[in-house]
A = this chain, B = another copy of it.
């Protein structure tokens, strides 16, 4: 654990099984990390449930921002920008300095829009990316995007490659990360229109942290991590693949339901630390998402990544 208090704004109403799983996750996170403080964003009675369950000496670690309205999983994402929802209030709390980072297991699209509107984007950023770190044989594999940017253009994939390179270096300490473009064969020219257009752009991109582009990789390479440290793809394919690997681990009888596949992902490209949890997240998943948000704050990862990307000669196309 890195030293220092981390104040995490928690969307109490995000997730298929909210608020119960969020209550459980918040309590687990408080037990695991004595330097954690939580700003509970949502109905007062849900926040009270968490506060009552804490030992009395710990109750000062928790503050409440009352909000009644949530974004439903079926709501249009833009609703998060218009009405005062829990996720929008959590973003506002971070933007005002009342918290250091936020976490939501609500609808991903709504969280991305709320964060982009509330924090603004990093300079020159087209579209944000959600980045997940999968356990692999050696270093974790950084997979992005896992659901923030659907139907991206080739230049967005190049920019996300730079995000991923910086994230692998800063969050996982990978030196000179290998960047692969997810496709359906390793030979140049394999893939759909988006991949065929992105491959030459990536080959010519100036990537930070000594990263090098290794070309096309396949789905098989993602779980094992043998060929690339960072795997770049569109948000649709990345989301399907991440959940597909999770299902395979569940089918194979892995120790936990997720088989170690992370159910929390960091949003890169917006000027505030945002962690998104899987809608089907459990209390354990929420707690690990809160720990990820605290780690990103304590290591100043988001600011470090943003700085790497805006350094001269390090900006990708």
* Residues of A participating in the B interface, judged by any CB pair closer than 8 Å: 73-74, 76, 107-108, 136-137, 147, 150-151, 182-185, 187-189, 191-193, 195, 218-224, 233-237, 239-254, 259, 279-280
Do B246 and A249 have beta carbons less than 8 Å apart? Answer: no
With A74-B187, A147-B184, A252-B254 already in contact, the answer to whether A241 and B244 are too (CB < 8 A) is: yes
In Å, the complex CA distance between A234 and B240 comes to: 12
Which residues of chain B are within 8 angstroms of A74 by Cβ–Cβ distance? 187-189
With A219-B243, A236-B237, A243-B220 already in contact, the answer to whether A151 and B248 are too (CB < 8 A) is: no
In Å, the complex CA distance between A191 and B240 comes to: 10
Q: Which single member of B239, B242, B259 contacts A252 (CB below 8 Å)?
A: B259
A273 CB, nearest partner CB in chain B, Å: 23
Q: What number of copies of this chain does the assembly contain?
A: 2
In Å, the complex CA distance between A216 and B107 comes to: 16
Do B243 and A218 have beta carbons less than 8 Å apart? Answer: yes
Residue of B whose beta carbon sits closest to that of A135 = B251
* Known A220-B243, A223-B251, A240-B240; further 19 A-B contacts with Cβ < 8 A: A73-B185, A137-B251, A150-B191, A184-B235, A192-B235, A192-B236, A218-B240, A219-B239, A219-B240, A221-B247, A222-B247, A224-B250, A233-B240, A237-B240, A244-B244, A245-B247, A248-B248, A248-B252, A252-B259
Do B247 and A219 have beta carbons less than 8 Å apart? Answer: yes
In Å, the complex CA distance between A22 and B96 comes to: 65
Which residues of chain B are within 8 angstroms of A252 by Cβ–Cβ distance? 248-249, 252-254, 259
A282 CB, nearest partner CB in chain B, Å: 14
Which residues of chain B are within 8 angstroms of A191 by Cβ–Cβ distance? 150, 236
Which residues of chain B are within 8 angstroms of A241 by Cβ–Cβ distance? 219, 240-241, 244
In Å, the complex CA distance between A221 and B193 comes to: 27
Which residues of chain B are within 8 angstroms of A187 by Cβ–Cβ distance? 73-74
Q: List 9 A-B contacts (CB under 8 A).
A: A73-B185, A74-B187, A184-B240, A219-B240, A219-B246, A223-B244, A224-B251, A248-B249, A252-B254
